Structure 1
Amino acid sequence: MSKYTALSEQLLENIGGIRNITYVTHCATRLRVSYQNKDLIQMEKLENLPNSSGLIVRAGTIQVIIGPDVHDAYNEFLEVSGWNGTEISEDQPDEDITEISEEKRDFQYYLLKFSNFIAPIFMPIIPALITGGMILAIKNLLVNYFGVSVDSGTAQWMLNIFDAAFKFLPVYIGYTMAQQLKMQPILGAMLGAVLIAPTFEGGLIPEIFGIPVPQVNYRSTILPVILGVVLMYYVDKGLKKILPKTLSYFLKPLLTMILVTPVVLILLAPAGNLLSGYVADFVLWVSNTLGIIALPLLSMIYPYMVMFGLDKGLHPIALELLDKLGYNPVTIVIGFISNICVGATTLALATTMKDKAQKATAVSSGVTALCGVTEPAFYGQLISHPKCMIGHAVGAACAGLFAGFFQLKTFVHGGCPGWLTLLFFVDQNGNINYVLIAIVTALIGMAVSFLATRIVLKKESMPRKGKAGTR
């Protein structure tokens, strides 16, 4: 029995059993279980799961807040539930499982559905991106400040790890995208590999069936393979209907690749590459149009983006910025500022608590938030003290203004930015200018958030003066 066995058993029982589950995944801190029938869920019994910091229900998905150990909880839930990644067959509907559509299908609903779809595609590859990016930063520091030769085996070994993380992105995205669409993941990875295979990159495929193939470098890109896997999904679905089951095992993958790859190489991948440039240009246009107020505003609302899962939709944008510009001036910066301010705000709240157990929990949550994981602080402490978010907003605004003025930017993509991820700010040449700006930004955010929160809480606790009576 592991730490998360009881949580898994209670979650499975009260969500309606495995037959009510449509998908299981996780992000950096939350276990996500999607369901079909809302009526089968016993929500009151899910609200106090052991070893959980809270529960969020959004767009047909229950999100259990775990923290940094979420991968252990995910593996244990798979073990306990027996979930193997397959949905209930549409050909064999169960009389007890009928989809109940009580949620309002408004813009927010579809935005949340999009975020829930995006998260399982990008979250599994985040550890590789963090590792690759940070080891590149370490390599640059060693070359710049510690006399390591750029041509040495040590430097090249580190560069090799970086290349493995970023340049093979089409393969990773192809795998997770196909997995999310309930296809054979290896075919998605294979399609990604087609885009970066030496034969194509060497210019040896100038045409297919006489149709010219644009010669584009797709390493480190994401949209070309995403568009390709979407096409693969529909081709796979069509072939599944027309091929006899006895031949499907080897014929379906073969025909899928024969039909999909020419369309991807000739049309979809070049279009995706062009669209990637437009995405990066648009984000920069918004940032330049709003000027230095962009970072303060986005940093102030970032906790609510995390609350609704909308931050997951920023991953594609961040990767496109890094691919096209070599740096990211927006998404990771606002997460860094916001997370630091959430931590400081929670520590300020802890100083007002009398109960020792509650205080210890708040301090632990605050320190965790300073390191980049904010869910325990936000859901466990701040959401029940909403006025504290005023202190967060003031601190995020001040830190964001400073960061915007000095044009703070990151050179590594990854989740949970905080004090432990300062290497995100080391530039391609190993310079630490932006690291210093990030440190000052964080100190401003911490100081202002802490003081503003203390002031807000002090005013809230002050007795209100009544009107003087007359005789």
Structure 2
Amino acid sequence: MSTNYKELASQIVEQVGGQENIIDLVHCATRLRFRLKDQELANKEAIQSLSGVAGVNPTKAQYQIIIGNEVDAVFKEIINLGIANGEHDTQLVDEKPNATKEGLFSKIVDTITGCMTPMIPALTAAGMIKVILSLINTFNWLTPTSDTYRILDIIGDSAFYFMPILLAVFASRKFKVNTSIAVIVVGIFLHPNFTGWVASGDPISFLSLPVPGVIYAASIIPALLMVWVMSYIEKGVDKITPKMLKILLNPTLVLLISAPLALLVVGPLGSYAGEGLASLIRLLEGQLGFMMVTLLAAAMPFIVMTGMHHALTPIFLATYAATGQESLILIAQICANLAQGGAAFAVSLRSKNKGLKQVAAASGVSAIMGITEPAIYGVTLKLKKPMLAAAIGAGVAGLYAGIMHVSVYVMQNSIMAALALSGEKGTSNIINGLIMMALSLGASFIATLVLGFEDPAEEA
């Protein structure tokens, strides 16, 4: 039976405390992310009981409601009810004075998640274009020198190349910075004249101060740091400019201060931080890589439950930008996602409850395609033992991947990663990657059948 999105939207709004309790709303691939004035007014049990809701995950920063693949349809119906769209609203909203203040760690995670989550569709689409190119190469459908191939390659690279600008847009909303100025400042990093100047090797200076020659394409940390710094620059400039000249002086002074600071200090520091992070990950992979992948793969479902998995995105993006491959976070996500799929498929096979069989089968397909919340909240976590089985399966596959140093060369965390294994490590990486994926599905499937689960009775 199809979901009545309008009715579900009304029910959700009512159960989170009504429209007057909602500051704004955004969504990611599977979750509605509310900012509420008072989370105590939300009825968690009532929300979880709604048909179409897979689960609820309140955090200090957001009240998250897991919907699944249909989240966009529900989001649109809620916005149609007059709820503020947090993706478009850049105005500060006063919360209740007694609202719980989030800690530093929660603020950092919320900030990174808020900036990275809206970028996921673009990164996913670009990653799929790269998968298509991998297929083209594998079956020799086009030559790499053909115009069609080169255009597809440009399309696939564009999201990664212009990632700093994408991040500037979303970070400006998070830090309450003028979006157009943020885009201009970060865009300087990618200006063809500047990148050509850096590539030439000629010295660069501004007011006799040396400008480090850094290539910022596909970088994350420089743009994020710069927009954060701009939030303080804007406030400082606003304090010193006269009211009658603010419309002229504010943007001009912010740009004149921010742009040189970006090139001279913040951008290089962010770039070095990203390179250092990538080097640290490579070092850890070399010493204890098999243990890291094992533990991260087994723990990934619980990381997803907290919503912190998006906070890992800058880490694997920094590694990918520096090396062109990734052997830890994406590998762990592949193992965990396929393991959730394997466990859900086992539940679908074993259960005699028709409703559960249908939900488990659908969520299993979703999980192997990289979206695990429906499987986690709708099947494995609810039944408990399948969640343990999925963690076991992911850990087994992660251990094998870590020992064999499996890498992906295209940013994929689903079954489509089978086409992302071809790279400098050659055929052995493809074979070991496919074995890893088979272990993820197979070990969790078998573990679920062995451990069993309490099959809920069919509803009358």
TM-score by length of 1: 0.87
AA of the residue aligned to 1:440: I
Contact 2:185 2:259 in 1 (8 A): yes
What secondary structure is seen at the aligned counterpart in 2 of 1:203?
helix
Cα deviation, residue 193, structure 1: 0.8
Name the counterpart of 1:306: 304
Within 1, Cα distance between the matches of 2:183 and 2:20? 29
Q: Pairwise mapping of residues 32-431 of structure 1 onto structure 2 (< 5 A)?
A: 32-85=33-86, 86=89, 97-101=96-100, 110-143=104-137, 145-146=139-140, 148-203=142-197, 206-414=204-412, 417-427=413-423
AA of the residue aligned to 1:179: R
Alignment gaps of 5+ in structure 2: 456-460
Across the aligned residues of Structure 1 and Structure 2, the Cα RMSD in angstroms comes to 2.7
What secondary structure is seen at the aligned counterpart in 2 of 1:28?
coil
Within 2, Cα distance between the matches of 1:130 and 1:174? 19
Contact 2:290 2:399 in 1 (8 A): yes
1:368/1:163 Cα in 2 relative to 1: closer, same or farther (>3 Å)?
closer
1:332/1:232 Cα in 2 relative to 1: closer, same or farther (>3 Å)?
same
Within 1, Cα distance between the matches of 2:292 and 2:11? 43
Contact 1:133 1:412 in 2 (8 A): yes
Contact 1:133 1:424 in 2 (8 A): no
- Residues 59-94 of structure 1: CA deviation (Å, up to 9, x unaligned): 23111112123233333322223414447757xx68
Alignment gaps of 5+ in structure 1: 462-471
AA of the residue aligned to 1:329: S
- Residues 411-431 of structure 1: CA deviation (Å, up to 9, x unaligned): 2225xx2224433334379x6
What secondary structure is seen at the aligned counterpart in 2 of 1:162?
helix
Contact 1:174 1:188 in 2 (8 A): yes
Contact 1:36 1:99 in 2 (8 A): no
Within 2, Cα distance between the matches of 1:19 and 1:219? 43
1:19/1:265 Cα in 2 relative to 1: closer, same or farther (>3 Å)?
farther
Within 1, Cα distance between the matches of 2:148 and 2:283? 40
Cα deviation, residue 407, structure 1: 1.4
Within 1, Cα distance between the matches of 2:289 and 2:295? 11
What secondary structure is seen at the aligned counterpart in 1 of 2:452?
helix
Contact 1:206 1:213 in 2 (8 A): yes
- Residues 351-390 of structure 1: CA deviation (Å, up to 9, x unaligned): 3422222222222222322222111111112222222233
AA of the residue aligned to 1:27: C
Cα deviation, residue 147, structure 1: 5.7
Q: How many residues align?
A: 447
Within 2, Cα distance between the matches of 1:275 and 1:252? 30
Within 2, Cα distance between the matches of 1:88 and 1:156? 42
Contact 1:27 1:119 in 2 (8 A): no
Contact 1:133 1:411 in 2 (8 A): no
Contact 1:26 1:120 in 2 (8 A): no
Within 2, Cα distance between the matches of 1:370 and 1:84? 30
AA of the residue aligned to 1:323: A
Larger Rg over CA atoms: 1
Cα deviation, residue 392, structure 1: 1.7
Within 2, Cα distance between the matches of 1:258 and 1:117? 26
Identical-pair percentage:
28
